[in-house]
Amino acid sequence: MKFEIYQKYSHPKTIMSFVLRLLHTVGLNGRGTRQTIRLASIFVFYLTFTVVPQLAGGQTDVHQFVRASVEFLFNCNIFVGSLCFAYGAASFRSFIREIRILAEFVSALSYKLKHTLTRFNRRVDLYAKAQTACMAAIGLIYWIAPLPSVVYSGYSNTTEAPRFVQHLEVKFYWLENRTSLRDYMIFVVIMLPVICMCSAMCNLKVLTISTSIEYCTLFTKLVIRAAEDLHDPPATRRTSQDLSNVVLMHVSLLKCIKLLDSALQPVLLLQWIVCGLNWSISLVYLTNTGVTLKSVTVIVMFMLATFETLLYCFLGTRLAVQQERLERAFYNTPWYEYPLELQNNLRIVMKQSQRHAHITVAKFFHVNLEEFGRIVHLSYSVYVVLKDEIKMR
């Protein structure tokens, strides 16, 4: 790594710097009138262009109704989730402050740990920028994809009426976007900022949650390395300061995870509820209609909700595994070779390490792959009930 790059990413303020700038842009990272106005403007935008048109109805058949419902749930998860995050923004700001203090302490403690942290900061920054670019491209492709077929059908010589593919399954206010080519093109122009906003908020949500959990996992690994370094020199030369440094790192890490958990609880609760509803509705719909062109929207929303929830569960599992490794690292310390004073201190640390910190869903259950399996099972049970109820009617 070049010296200039190393100097840039070795500073504690580079931790999640790109993600924090994005949060500040939409009003989710900061206090004051300007931040409130930015967030309120986005929420008004959401109500005006997605909620009101979809709640106003205008669906001509059950297929349009189901697709509109799935899209409504997906957008609700994005924008209402942002409001839930704003509710816990104070805890998130405290988390950022504490994790930067921990990063500064770790950097001063060991060059090896500082180098690991610097490389991770750079990878996260590149990953965040690459994902943002990909989401922008995906949003643009989603907006452009229906247009060639619509233009072709509109200007072809066939006597059939053109088929207008909707970006959102709504009758948009006064526009006849399902029957009039002129109104449809106006609708398409309006949908460009709507799709861009949805893509930006979805990207920001995924980036914030995933990178925050990954930083907690990284610092857990650094504490494990610091604990394992206690094994290297002879125990008689080990000083109380070395053990105290590891204890301070561990206490600070637990505090960071607790603050992050507090900030993400309402967001993840909404994610779990919406994901379960999305799965149940989508499975019932696909069972009755099969995989057709009309069901493409439902399939895409189903896959996005699944991958997002699976990502959070996977990252939560990684954090839980590292917490277990940390407990074993303290337990494997040759405490019997230490002076009596250090043995007493280490016993306290080992007891403290048994308090595994987790990311939870409103404190109901942990975010991990096991809970993902339970969500799938619960959603399938709801799907079976709904399917049987539909058959009876």
How far is residue 179's CA from residue 164's CA, in Å, rounded to a whole number?
7
- Non-local (6+) Cβ contacts of 64 within 8 A are 169
Q: Which of 144-153, 274-283, 346-355 has the highest mean pLDDT?
A: 274-283
229 has a pLDDT exceeding 90: no
How far is residue 146's CA from residue 194's CA, in Å, rounded to a whole number?
16
60 has a pLDDT exceeding 80: no
The larger pLDDT score, comparing residue 341 to residue 125, is at 125
The larger pLDDT score, comparing residue 292 to residue 316, is at 316
Phi and psi at 333, nearest 5°, equal -65, 135
Q: What does the pLDDT read at residue 144?
A: 87
Q: What does the pLDDT read at residue 94?
A: 92
How far is residue 96's CA from residue 211's CA, in Å, rounded to a whole number?
12
How far is residue 270's CA from residue 56's CA, in Å, rounded to a whole number?
23
Mean pLDDT confidence for 205-225: 92
Condensed to tens digits (0 to 9), the pLDDT of residues 129-168 reads 999 999 999 888 888 887 777 776 666 555 566 667 777 7
pLDDT confidence band for 283 (50 / 70 / 90): confident
Mean pLDDT confidence for 339-355: 72
Query: Quick count: other Cβ atoms within 10 Å of Cβ 109?
Result: 18
Is-contact 361 367, C-beta < 8 A?
yes
Condensed to tens digits (0 to 9), the pLDDT of residues 168-199 reads 777 888 888 877 778 888 888 998 999 999 99
Query: Closest Cα partner for 313 from 260, 266, 268, 364?
Result: 268
Question: What 3-state DSSP class applies to 106?
Answer: helix
Query: Closest Cα partner for 339 from 246, 228, 233, 240?
Result: 240
Tokens representing 366 are 């942990």
Mean pLDDT confidence for 296-323: 87
**Please, what is the average pLDDT of the chain?**
82
Question: What 3-state DSSP class applies to 365?
Answer: strand
Condensed to tens digits (0 to 9), the pLDDT of residues 75-88 reads 888 898 888 888 88
How far is residue 376's CA from residue 276's CA, in Å, rounded to a whole number?
8
Q: What does the pLDDT read at residue 32?
A: 77
Q: What is the pTM of this model?
A: 0.89
Q: What does the pLDDT read at residue 236?
A: 47
Q: Which of 70-74, 213-217, 365-369, 384-388 has the highest mean pLDDT?
A: 213-217
Share of the chain above pLDDT 90, in %: 20
Span of 36-45, 101-110, 361-370 with lowest mean pLDDT? 361-370
Share of the chain above pLDDT 70, in %: 86
